[in-house]
């Protein structure tokens, strides 16, 4: 590091989500400082953990009392110069979910938007809640509720070109809103939360939506072609708050499965118990698709005990495995 006379280097390091090895992620903030300072100065660092598992760090260093060649040259010509300099650093670090293979790149969305005719004509919400976690909130469904006329959902997606991939996530932390007020938990109120593969962002696009209505049931739906018939099914056995969902594409075969949270002491992330809802559908979908997470409320009927205007949910331990042209 080049030292300047009486220079003070102040740097703020925003330690946000660590991605794959290609984004120059560093495992240790102190080692990063040591490497950058190269023994030229002493550093004091303070660490603050933020809500999403990231770290914010700042440090200030006082440089040695030396002069650069540029400063000496300038001083020789003007006999009165002062040099000031600053340098900024950035690095990435956050803790991966214990339920995700650390060698698998993080799932980072390319975009997020409201699909279909929403109730409130302003953007829904998508935000990161950790290294492998996103929170989504939709903007409701504008009456009448009829999926045959198109899907309505908040969709956070990654655009991929592949016919061989899978996405898995724990769906949890669901909230039901009427206006800006969160309603007490009730099995009849929640919208659907789950994983989606879409051929396009058009509400009538060919798609597969594998979802969970917390404390009520598992649901699945698909449309085999643009503007085609909306097919739907459900099973009331997974009437739990949190549920694991896996959605896989191999060629034109789309397969899905559900899993409970751990039920036995030796289980860590998801239960090995077979819920018995593994299914598949064959859809002639293009190689380039949109894959990700979605929340979808039904039409609010005016009774907070039986429906909600907007649905919010958390998608945890997202793991995306992909082979293809663009993953």
186 and 58: one domain?
A: no
Q: Which residues of the chain have pLDDT under 70?
A: 1-93, 144-145, 186-188
Instruction: Write down the pLDDT at residue 140.
Output: 87
Identify whether 173 is part of a domain: yes
Q: What residues form DSSP beta bridges with 301? A: none
Instruction: Write down the pLDDT at residue 93.
Output: 64
CATH number of the domain within which 239 lies: 2.60.120.200
58 and 144: one domain?
A: no
220 and 117: one domain?
A: yes
Instruction: Write down the pLDDT at residue 14.
Output: 32
141 and 281: one domain?
A: yes
Identify whether 220 is part of a domain: yes
Identify whether 104 is part of a domain: no
Identify whether 106 is part of a domain: no
Instruction: Write down the pLDDT at residue 226.
Output: 96
36 and 183: one domain?
A: no
41 and 167: one domain?
A: no
- Secondary structure of the chain in the HEC alphabet? CCCCCCCEEEEEEEEECCCCHHHCCCCCHHHHHHHHHCCCCCEEEEEEECCCCEEEEEEEEECCCCCCHHHHHHHHHHCCCCCCCCCCCCEECECCCCCCCCCCCCCCCCEEEEECCCCCCCCCEEEEEECCEEEEECCCCCCCCCHHHCCCEEEEEEEEECCEEEEEEEEEEEEEEECCEECCCCCCCCCEEEEEEECCCCCCCCEEEEEEECCCEEEEEEECCCCCCEEEEEECCCCCCCEEEEEEEECCEEEEEEECCCCCCCCCCCCCCCCCCCEEEECCCCCEEEEEEEEECCCCCCCCCCCCCEEEEEEEEEEEEEECCEC
Q: What residues form DSSP beta bridges with 222? A: 208, 231
Integer CA distances (angstroms), 9 to 37, 263, 308, in order = 10, 53, 53
| Number of domains present in the structure of the chain | 2
Instruction: Write down the pLDDT at residue 305.
Output: 77
Rounded CA-CA distance 264/244 in Å is: 16
- Whether the CB-CB separation of 134 and 222 falls below 8 Å is answered with no
152 and 248: one domain?
A: yes
65 and 196: one domain?
A: no
85 and 156: one domain?
A: no
Instruction: Write down the pLDDT at residue 145.
Output: 67
C-alpha closest to that of 205 among 285, 111, 110, 138: 285
Identify whether 101 is part of a domain: no
Identify whether 123 is part of a domain: yes
35 and 162: one domain?
A: no
Identify whether 102 is part of a domain: no
Instruction: Write down the pLDDT at residue 188.
Output: 66
Instruction: Write down the pLDDT at residue 144.
Output: 66
C-alpha closest to that of 152 among 169, 162, 138, 132: 138
Identify whether 150 is part of a domain: yes
- Whether the CB-CB separation of 147 and 191 falls below 8 Å is answered with no
Integer CA distances (angstroms), 101 to 25, 106, 314, 317, in order = 16, 10, 20, 10
pLDDT digits (tens, 9 = 90+) for 193-245: 999 999 999 999 999 999 999 888 999 999 999 999 999 999 988 889 999 99
Three-point CA angle 206, 211, 213, nearest 5°: 140
| Domain with 85 in it | 8-92
288 and 172: one domain?
A: yes
- Whether the CB-CB separation of 282 and 254 falls below 8 Å is answered with yes
142 and 208: one domain?
A: yes
């Amino acid at each position: 590091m080049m030292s300047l006379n009486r220079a003070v280097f102040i740097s703020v390091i925003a330690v946000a989500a660590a991605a794959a090895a290609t984004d120059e992620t560093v495992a240790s903030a102190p080692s990063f400082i040591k490497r950058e300072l190269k023994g030229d100065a002493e550093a004091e660092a303070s660490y603050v953990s933020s809500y999403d598992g990231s770290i914010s760090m700042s440090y200030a260093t006082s440089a040695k009392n030396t002069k650069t060649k540029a400063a000496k040259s300038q001083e020789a010509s003007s006999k009165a110069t002062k040099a000031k300099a600053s340098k900024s650093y950035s690095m990435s670090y956050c803790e991966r979910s214990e339920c995700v293979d650390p060698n698998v790149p993080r799932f980072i969305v390319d975009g997020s938007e409201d699909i279909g005719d929403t109730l409130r004509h302003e953007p829904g919400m998508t935000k990161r809640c950790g290294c492998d976690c996103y929170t989504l909130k939709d903007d409701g469904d504008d009456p009448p509720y009829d999926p045959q006329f198109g899907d309505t959902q908040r969709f956070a997606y990654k655009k991929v070109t592949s016919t061989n991939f899978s996405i898995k996530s724990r769906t949890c932390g669901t909230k039901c809103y009427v206006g800006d007020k969160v309603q007490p938990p009730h099995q009849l109120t929640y919208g659907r939360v789950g994983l989606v593969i879409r051929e396009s962002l058009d509400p009538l696009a060919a798609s597969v939506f594998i979802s969970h209505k917390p404390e009520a049931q598992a649901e699945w739906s698909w449309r085999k072609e643009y503007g085609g018939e909306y097919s739907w099914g459900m099973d009331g056995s997974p009437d739990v708050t949190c549920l694991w969902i896996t959605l896989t594409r191999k060629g034109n075969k789309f397969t899905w499965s559900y899993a409970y949270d751990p039920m036995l002491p030796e289980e860590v992330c998801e239960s090995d118990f077979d819920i018995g809802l593994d299914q598949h559908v064959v859809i002639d979908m293009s190689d380039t698709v949109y894959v990700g997470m979605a929340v979808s409320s039904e039409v609010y009927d005016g009774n907070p005990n039986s429906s909600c205007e907007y649905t919010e949910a958390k998608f945890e331990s997202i793991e995306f495995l992909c082979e293809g042209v663009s993953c």
